[in-house]
Amino acid sequence: MSYLLIRIKDVVCLVCLLSLATDVGFMQSLSKTTHTLNLGEEKVWVDIYERTGADITLLNLHDNENTSAETGRAFVERHGGRLIELRHGRGREVVVRLDGVLHRFDPNRMFSDVGLRKSLEYFHNNTDEIFVIAAAFRDRVIELFAVQEGMVVIALHNNTPDKLTIKDFRPGEWYGEDTREVSINPQQDTDNFFVVTQVELFNALSSSGYNVALRAKSPPDRGMLIDYCQRLGALCITVEAEHGHRVEQKEMLEALWKILTEKGIVTTYD
Ligand SMILES: [Zn+2]
């Protein structure tokens, strides 16, 4: 009997060791899964990079914002987590292609029906047929994204110099009504900034010298990812840096990471 128990223990131990070895092996590599989504005759590839280590999701919605994609992949390699990247080669917006004709919309405006309609309208594409195709694509992205209450999400973006800056979040400016409070550091490039929904993060980032906008509690419905996350009880932080500002965006992400881990907002496991 005792011999049998020892053997059982040995087997259990072996199983433990094997699972430990598998975990360690998995931790060291970044896995990539690609999903192919259709938008009429158009294809969009959704790449998901994953590594164990941190309970965090990064998103690169605009395909031409390559600095964000590179910075995000490097971040997941360093700390773990998940990066979701949309890829289609059409530039910033995604395209519904019907009979060879391209109908654009902004994927960061698709997270509500109102926002998606407005974006299609903006690009003169608001027909019911295109809306249905775009909404089905949106629903599939949401399914892959799988936002849940308590999740921490980082939306990575790049902007063209002086086109969208932290100054646009001041009262009376383009995103003035979206914003509760704005902190601008004159020493920082105005193209590099954070958008947050939590006062705690606003204070931490602004006192660290970063440009940061605190999103309004009830902003206009633009169909943005940050508001979609907020509705589901997930925390979303936007990190905007100028195209090509790799060093700055990496440094911003690391500063955010430090705050998120020190405050216990992100769970890490090794
Ligand atoms: Zn963007």
**What does the domain layout of the chain look like in residue ranges?**
30-160+203-262
Distance of CA 109 from the midpoint of ligand 1 (Å): 11
CA distance 80 to 100: 40
Q: Which residues of the chain have pLDDT under 70?
A: 1-28, 270
Tell me how far apart the terminal alpha carbons of the chain are, to the nearest angstrom: 38
Whether the CB-CB separation of 45 and 39 falls below 8 Å is answered with no
- Kindly report the pTM of this predicted structure: 0.87
CA distance 212 to 94: 28
Distance of CA 61 from the midpoint of ligand 1 (Å): 6
Distance of CA 17 from the midpoint of ligand 1 (Å): 44
Smallest CA-to-CA distance from 156 within 233, 87, 73 is with 73
Task: Let me know if domain 30-160+203-262 sits in CATH 3.40.630.
Answer: yes
Distance of CA 106 from the midpoint of ligand 1 (Å): 9
Q: What is the pLDDT of residues 242-262, one digit of tens each?
A: 999 999 999 999 999 999 999
Distance of CA 102 from the midpoint of ligand 1 (Å): 20
Distance of CA 7 from the midpoint of ligand 1 (Å): 58
Distance of CA 242 from the midpoint of ligand 1 (Å): 10
Whether the CB-CB separation of 126 and 134 falls below 8 Å is answered with no
Residue 167, burial from CB neighbour count under 10 angstroms (0-12, 13-18, 19+): middle
CA distance 171 to 254: 29
Could you tell me how far CA 156 lies from the centroid of its own chain?
A: 6
Looking at residue 106, its pLDDT comes to: 97
Distance of CA 2 from the midpoint of ligand 1 (Å): 64
Distance of CA 158 from the midpoint of ligand 1 (Å): 5
Distance of CA 159 from the midpoint of ligand 1 (Å): 7
Distance of CA 51 from the midpoint of ligand 1 (Å): 24
Looking at residue 19, its pLDDT comes to: 41
Distance of CA 262 from the midpoint of ligand 1 (Å): 28
CA distance 1 to 253: 57
Distance of CA 14 from the midpoint of ligand 1 (Å): 48
Whether the CB-CB separation of 68 and 157 falls below 8 Å is answered with yes
Distance of CA 114 from the midpoint of ligand 1 (Å): 19
Distance of CA 9 from the midpoint of ligand 1 (Å): 54
Distance of CA 251 from the midpoint of ligand 1 (Å): 18
Distance of CA 13 from the midpoint of ligand 1 (Å): 49
Q: How many CA atoms lie within 13 A of 96 on its CB side?
A: 26
**CB-CB neighbours of 140 under 10 Å:** 16
